[in-house]
Amino acid sequence: MQRYTYAVTPYAIQPVITANGYGLDPVLTNVTFCVGQQIAFNFGFVYTQSRFPSYVSSTNALCNWTLPDKFVNVAITNYMHSLGTNAADCVYYTNNPSLLTTTNSPCTCWYINGTGGAVSMNSSLYFNGKTVSVAAIGQIGIYRPSTTNFVQFLNDVRWSFPYLAADMSWKESLVSTINGQFGITQLLLGTGIYFDTGGVYALDGNTTIYGENGNNAAQPYDVNNIGSHIVQFLDTPQAPALSLNLTFKNYLVFQPSGNNSIFVTIATNGWYVNASYSLISDVTTPTNLAPASSPANSDEFPIWTIYHPE
């Protein structure tokens, strides 16, 4: 009769949180994501005595997650096709606390601001009719691009029969260590026959990214190409009218590269037109627009329920 002897090497296991497959350190920040990138948090175990740590996902787990600010985890859409138009739908994001409880599925979100911090999870695991409580913690870093070099070019009013027109133009630069695409979304609050928006802000034009002369698409951002870091804005609202009363709000938005990433707002600024022309004196009042405000750091999503055609 033969006898066999087996050597079994025990390994200690430790609960761990992973973010997009990367194990998070409980103390040090070893993983950083950019705002707008989708992050999928998972809970599992790591063999701590193994030379090469192996992460094993858990099953039959009810997880309650606590995440640092500031993130969103659900999309809301205001559909424009119901208005009988091909204007861009308004897609924005908010936070649904119920999605921080998961069962055998990742906790997904997008960060829009903040610097990161501790991600914690309390889980109830079910084995053979028994329940075991397990907790884990990990650190993440959040990176957020910024703006610089805002330069005003045009801010004037002019009359050219029969049109009263305003000219507004500026440029600004995006500073990012992550590739992606960016542009400006413009909302309009207007009055009068030609620009009435019913007392609410409307999407200016029928595309999410605003641009004159048909340039209505986000421009690529290449970290290694300085020329791609600058966005130029130009708008010339005009109407066959003797007065214009318009308020504009602009959102500089950025979408980092990566699967399921979203556009997030980096900064906002605004400008307005409150001008008139006198046929008697042949004078426009004022002769120049007030300059556009300097971009201010913001994570506010542009939201609209109607649009105003260009």
CATH code for the domain in which residue 218 is found: 2.60.40
CA-CA distance, 217 to 33, in Å (whole number)?
Answer: 25
d(CA 242, CA 232): 29
The answer on 177 and 232 residing in a single domain is: yes
Contacts of 20 (CB under 8 A, 6+ apart): 33, 39, 40
DSSP 207: S
Q: How many CB atoms lie within 10 A of CB 129?
A: 5
Which residue, 38, 24, 207, 31, is CA-closest to 112? 38
Is the same domain home to 113 and 241?
no
Final residue before a domain boundary, out of 126, 143, 160? 143
- List pLDDT tens digits, range 275-292: 999 999 999 999 889 999
Contact between 101 and 62 under an 8 Å Cβ cutoff? The reply is yes
Pair 221, 254: CB distance under 8 Å: yes
Rounded average pLDDT over 151-177: 96
Peptide bond preceding 70: is omega within 30 degrees of 0, i.e. cis? yes
| 7 domain-assigned | no
Position 30 in a domain: yes
Tell me the pLDDT band of 213, cut-offs 50, 70 and 90. Answer: very low
- Domain residue limits at 39: 13-143
Q: Are 290 and 161 in a shared domain?
A: yes
Greater pLDDT, 148 or 80? 148
Question: Are residues 152 and 112 part of one domain?
Answer: no
Residue 237 near residue 195, CB atoms below 8 Å = yes
Phi, psi of 228 (to 5 degrees): -85, 0
Q: How many residues does the chain have?
A: 310
Q: Is residue 5 in a domain?
A: no
Output the pLDDT for position 206.
87
For the residues 161-177, what does the mean pLDDT come to?
Answer: 97
Q: What is the mean pLDDT of the chain?
A: 90
pTM passes above 0.85: yes
Same domain, 160 and 304: yes
Taking alpha carbons only, the member of 29, 56, 52, 28 closest to residue 43 is 56
Is 3 among the domain residues?
no
Q: Which of residues 143, 162, 183 is at a domain's end?
A: 143
pLDDT higher than 80, residue 182: yes
Q: Are 286 and 157 in contact (CB under 8 A)?
A: yes
Residues 203 and 298 in one domain: yes
| In contact, 186 and 202? CB cutoff 8 Å | no
CA dist list (Å): 95 to 55, 69, 76, 117, 264 = 29, 11, 10, 18, 14
Which stretches of the chain are DSSP H helices?
none
Amino acid at residue number 17: I
Would 299 be classed as within a structural domain? yes
- Say whether both 24 and 139 belong to one domain: yes
158 and 247, same domain (yes or no) = yes
Q: What are the tens digits of pLDDT across the range 76-112?
A: 999 886 665 678 899 999 999 999 999 888 999 999 9
Q: How far is CA 14 from CA 45, 47, 123, 213, in A?
A: 5, 7, 13, 58
Q: In the listed set 116, 143, 170, which residue is the last one of a domain according to the structure?
A: 143
Q: Give the CATH number of the domain where residue 131 resides.
A: 2.60.40.1080
21 and 82 belong to one structural domain: yes
What tokens were used for 185? Answer: 């979304």
- For residues 154 and 297, membership in a common domain is answered with yes
Q: Using DSSP, state whether 141 is helix, strand or coil.
A: strand
Share of the chain above pLDDT 70, in %: 88
92: in domain: yes
pLDDT of 59 reads 59
**What pLDDT does 5 receive?**
59
In a domain? residue 175? yes
Instruction: Output the CA–CA distances (angstroms, integers) from residue 232 to 153, 168, 228, 297, in the order listed.
Output: 10, 11, 11, 18
233 alpha carbon, distance to own chain's centre: 20
**Whether residues 162 and 288 fall in one domain:** yes
Whether residues 167 and 251 share a domain: the answer is: yes
User: For residue 64, is it within any domain?
Assistant: yes
Domain count, the chain: 2
